[in-house]
Structure 1
Amino acid sequence: MGVGELSSAALPRGFFDRPSHEVAPDLLGRVLVHGGADGVVAVRLTEVEAYGGPGEDPAAHTYRGKTPRNAVMFGPPGHLYVYFTYGMHFCANLVCLPEGSGSAVLLRAGEVVSGLDTARARRSSGRAVPPGEPGSSGGPGASGRSVSSGKLIAERDLARGPARLAVALGLLREHNGLDAIQEGAAAGRPRGSVTMLEGRPPDPAAIRSGPRTGISTAKETPWRFWIDGDPTVSPYRPHVPRRRSVAATSVGEAPRS
């Protein structure tokens, strides 16, 4: 996990005004703070993934250009890009490079360093999305279990994975576009704000890189970065194409990819 005290100094905007694959390893050990209506939670990042710009990275949301969904990625650096995926989860990213570039870093996992009870309450709700969102009913939520199981979620698992991290921090669609650069605001942050703090970067020798998780294109690009040996880092899972079912084959339906 590293040694030393966490720094509460806010990161400057220039930190993000670089290519995402340069920003990503430097984000490890930094702390993202979000003050929701139910409390404030801070997560020290232990795993991230970089995604490039239009026409550069086939795995990036911006590969084919600007759309209403990815517009925030083309905005100023240091803003949150929050998107909804698989009809179930939100994932949070931080925008990189100057305005108009379309690049970001996905926040994959981290250690809850403040607001532990609040983070656990959010995860223990068993709800990956708020009421009214598609996928908000039926089955377990991002907590990976039913509400009635009563099982206490281990600290290492509270923000272990991009969906869990977003739930622990209380990040939803409404937070898409928030500015995470609050220079000079370390002493007091307004409710609903997000702030990126210097935190405690790891020893550079402890940083590892490898292929990104679960993507079907640009699979070998080594833009996933993590702190070696940290228990909050999520397991690596390569993309596995969905197989055509027997039923689908029998009625002539096209396979899903």
Structure 2
Amino acid sequence: MNIIIIEDEFRAAKSLQNLILDLKPDAKILGVYDSIEMSVEALSKDVKPDLIFMDIHLSDGLSFEIFKQIEITCPVVFCTAFDQYMLDAFKSKGVDYVLKPFSREDIAEALRKVDELKKFFQKNELPDLEALLKNINQPQPTSKSSFLVFKNQKYTTILTENIAYFYIHNEITHLVTFDKEQFQLTQSLGQVAEQVSDKQFFRVNRQYLVNFKAIKEMEHYFQRKILVKLIIETPEKLLINKEKTHSFFTWLEDR
């Protein structure tokens, strides 16, 4: 695997280089660059990496400028001391986001993700175009616009757009509205997830399915998890594990 490092801190670049070669002895470091200008110049010529480890704050600006000046086709692992650029990183071919000071385990996990992506695309062939067109022409299922609920001996309907989140408690699915009303459902959370729009709702973990409009903010948590905070309280902390972080931020961006 041919790798380049874009990093303006000498000690960080050296540490990263040593870790990569220790974890992947067959890797080759094609070059280490400390600026946008040097990186663009190198990538415009003969440097063809399979993977890039990239800092975000470089000596002459943010590394996202590189993507505006040249097309990068290989995956990128971002290594930075700042956590506010995560969305931009995943939009720029980022496959992992490693916070400094990084550890051996962080770099090993990043390399593992890249290997898994490579294996996936080697195993999976391109889809059959005729079958794909046939599926496109099939009528698409519509999302459920409301849920029938029962409470205090009365039936009522709750518009799906007014639902902040669904969650499981004692193996029962609960619906919570933006007005903080709560109702029990007979469907499983998996069944509910299939009925609502996957553009509007995301299954953050086994217990919670949340509405995009209910999300207030996110922050880093222990063990590289993401803590999601809603505009109304939830009985438990909403945590997204590191394996699901990429798909979550892609969903947030795909509006």
Q: Under TM normalisation by the shorter chain, which class is it?
A: under 0.3
Q: State TM-score, norm by structure 2.
A: 0.24
Which structure has more helix as a fraction of its residues? 2
Q: Which has the larger radius of gyration?
A: 2
Q: State TM-score, norm by structure 1.
A: 0.24
